[in-house]
Structure 1
Amino acid sequence: MPVAAAADCRADAVDLRGDWGSARFSVEIADDEAERARGLMFREVLPRSSGMLFIYPRPQPSSFWMKNTLIPLDMLFLGPDGVVRHVHSRAVPGDLTPIPGGDGILAVLEINGGLAGAMGISEGSQMRHPAFGEDAAWPCAAE
């Protein structure tokens, strides 16, 4: 039923799947310079099933830091195919040390620190979201 699957693929949510199972997160989108620069700074809480999806205009090297970020975060760095290439677990609030995600990154999902490990989300997991085109490992129109 491709029509239902496509309708279920929304800009404000991401689906993840892998050998560990599957999960859905409600997301805020950071897709311009100002939104990406602010990210989740100054937030005191992040609901368990929520996150922020940073989307770049094209694949590029990606590096984050935790300046003015008050809560520990897991960062999932994704290629243009929607496949998780790197997971950084439990980024330390306020730490200015760069967190490199690698080259060719199209999107980064930030979720609560420790959650990726607890759920089993790892490199090779696949994400479904409209930011990834029809050539994605798990495209929106796929079942």
Structure 2
Amino acid sequence: MFRRALRSLAALSLLVFVSGAQAQAISYVVLKDKTFYVELAETEAAQARGLMFREHLAPDRGMFFIFRDEDMRAFWMKNCFISLDIIYFDKSFQMVSAQTNVPPCKTPACPSYPSSAPAMYVLELAAGTADKLGLKPGDKVEFHR
């Protein structure tokens, strides 16, 4: 009985990710054979909020932004307390560019970090991850909802 309850709790913890007071299903991406559990940013509100006000991001966690179309993208680090890698992917899930080791913005005027080609998906991971994985343009990300 205890083992079954423990397994149920473990399964539930894999299905739900608590972000502030909001719970959402966990999705994951696979990049260079490494799995990252990601929060999805599909709405304008979620995309604007991104990873603001976070003080920590585990090495196997991130945020995956899904846009309606492929276009030039630019991100900034306003109210972000952690350094990130911002990785841009086209509609075919191929990496087009990355901004790595992007520092938090500590001034009122924050710089933006653009893609170098049109992107439809953006993955934010802990700073240094892209370099550790040896990411380069053309690498593919697998998205699992």
Whether the TM-score (by the shorter chain) exceeds 0.5 is: yes
Question: Per-residue deviation at 1:129?
Answer: 1.3
**Could you give the per-residue CA deviations for residues 46-89 of structure 1, whole angstroms, max 9, x where no partner exists?**
01001000110111110000000000000110000000000111
Superposed CA RMSD in Å reads 1.7
Give the match's secondary structure for 1:34: helix
State the TM-score, normalized to the length of structure 1.
Answer: 0.77
**Amino acid of the residue matched to residue 55 of structure 1?**
I
Question: Per-residue deviation at 1:104?
Answer: 2.3
**Amino acid of the residue matched to residue 57 of structure 2?**
L
Higher alpha-carbon deviation: 99-108 or 35-44: 99-108
Give the match's secondary structure for 1:77: strand
Distance in 1, matches of 2:57 and 2:144, equals 23
Question: Per-residue deviation at 1:119?
Answer: 1.9
Residue 102 of structure 1: aligned partner: 116
Distance in 1, matches of 2:46 and 2:134, equals 28
Distance in 2, matches of 1:47 and 1:11, equals 14
Distance in 2, matches of 1:53 and 1:71, equals 16
Contact (CA 8 Å) 1:11, 1:130: kept in 2 or not? no
Structure 1, unpaired ranges of 5+: 1-9, 132-143
Give the match's secondary structure for 1:108: strand
Structure 2, unpaired ranges of 5+: 1-24
Residue 93 of structure 1: aligned partner: 104
Q: Percent identity?
A: 32
State the TM-score, normalized to the length of structure 2.
Answer: 0.76
Residue 73 of structure 1: aligned partner: 84
- Residue of structure 2 aligned with 1:14, choices 20, 25, 29: 29
Q: Of the two, which has the highest radius of gyration?
A: 2
Question: Per-residue deviation at 1:103?
Answer: 3.9
Contact (CA 8 Å) 1:44, 1:70: kept in 2 or not? yes
